[in-house]
Amino acid sequence: MKCLNSWMILVIGCFIYLVACSTVEAKRNKNRVRGKVQSNSTVEEEDVFSPWTRWSRCSRRCTQKRIRRCIHPFACDRDVVREKRVCKIGRCLFFRKTTSGKNVSVETDESRKQNESKRDELWNLNRVQRRRHKSGVDTETPKIHLLNRFKCGVSPVAERTPEIWKNLRIIGGREAQKGSWPWQLALLNRYREPFCGATLIAPKWALTAAHCLRRKLIVRSGEHNLMSIEGSEQESLVVEQYVHPDYDEATVHNDIALLKLRNPFVFDNHTQAACLPQQQDSLDSDSRGIILGWGKHKSTAIYGTDDLHQAEVPIVDPEECQKSYDTYPITRTVICAGYKQGRIDSCAGDSGGPLLVRKNGRWTLFGVTSFGDGCGEKGKYGIYSSVPKYVKWIRKIVFKYS
């Protein structure tokens, strides 16, 4: 009988405990909405979640993130709580939404609409004009104009450390010294993601490949590591795009375009312009050029490199290049460069970037990276639009629309 009474007491005690737990859980659930903890449950979160991690490094979209993890699994409705905020950096061009949470400002519906309206105005297609210019007869462009008013082709950083020029011939290329190529630009899409390169030729003008054009573009100078903000970067919106009139999307012939920028870049140690060649300039097979970019290090790679890379490539005779490309016509409007054994080459993500040759002590833009058959494949070469063949058109556009 005593054993039976003890058993009954134990059962009743368990029942009371279960009822009490259910009541506590019901009260707790009142503070939860669709799996998210409301702001009035902050004290409870402090009890069941770890402290916040430090804010992450500012991303290329000008946002930072932090997290806290659940330390009491039975009391949490999720494993991780995440927060995001806009970086406190004045140079960020766009307002980014923040995720509501502790110590993070929340964007109201009204402010969100205002900022979206401003962003739409910023990207107004009426301000971003893409034009094909007919050749036609034009009055002679003066020899002294906007492209001759500043010093070009000189790298202040590299001039202080000239030994960096001795280490260019490395199989597969190597990471460039920060600031050594101040005319190298990163071309960003509307989501601020780098996908092509370009070359600065004047404070408000850049040269790139026609196949790199998008309706909405940003160019960034002073860039080295794409994953970090280093303080040397400058950015400007592209307001006009000038495609060569004879550009053929199917054959990629005349793959060259000019970009006019909204705000001129300020020349400093990390932002300068490359020199343009003369129309009569040419390169023989004994010449060597420098290629730059953040593209893939091999064709099978998923992503490009974080840091700017450089490599030296020899100029290839057109006849030799034609053998490599069989039926594809290698015309005088392109330059072939690379090694017969492969390994060193431009690749996806390098398009629009420069092929540079040092002439009279200054770096001159002789080519614009266009395409290739694979990346660093044996017996294949990179194809670059020959800038000397287009320099008359370039000067005409810059003079007319500056």
Distances (CA, A) of 66 to 14, 83, 84, 88, 228: 42, 5, 7, 15, 17
In angstroms, the Cα distances linking 179 to 84, 158, 175 are: 31, 7, 12
Kindly name the residue from 211, 232, 268, 282 that is annotated as catalytic.
211
Q: Choose, from 253, 255, 270, 386, the residue flagged as catalytic.
A: 255
Separation CA 244–CA 258 (nearest Å): 8
Classified as helix, coil or strand, 394 is helix
What is the number of other CB atoms lying within 10 angstroms of the CB of residue 296? 19
Active site annotation includes 351: yes
In single-letter form, the type of residue at position 344 comes to I
Catalytic-labelled residue, pool 221, 346, 351, 370: 351
User: What stretches of 203-343 adopt beta strand conformation (E)?
Assistant: 205-208, 218-221, 234-243, 257-261, 288-293, 309-316, 334-337
Whether 224 is catalytic: no
| C-alpha span between 89 and 192 (Å, rounded) | 16
Residues with Cβ within 8 Å of residue 113, at least 6 apart in sequence? none
Max CA separation in the chain (angstroms): 118
255 as an active site residue: the answer is yes
Residues with a catalytic annotation lie at 211, 255, 351
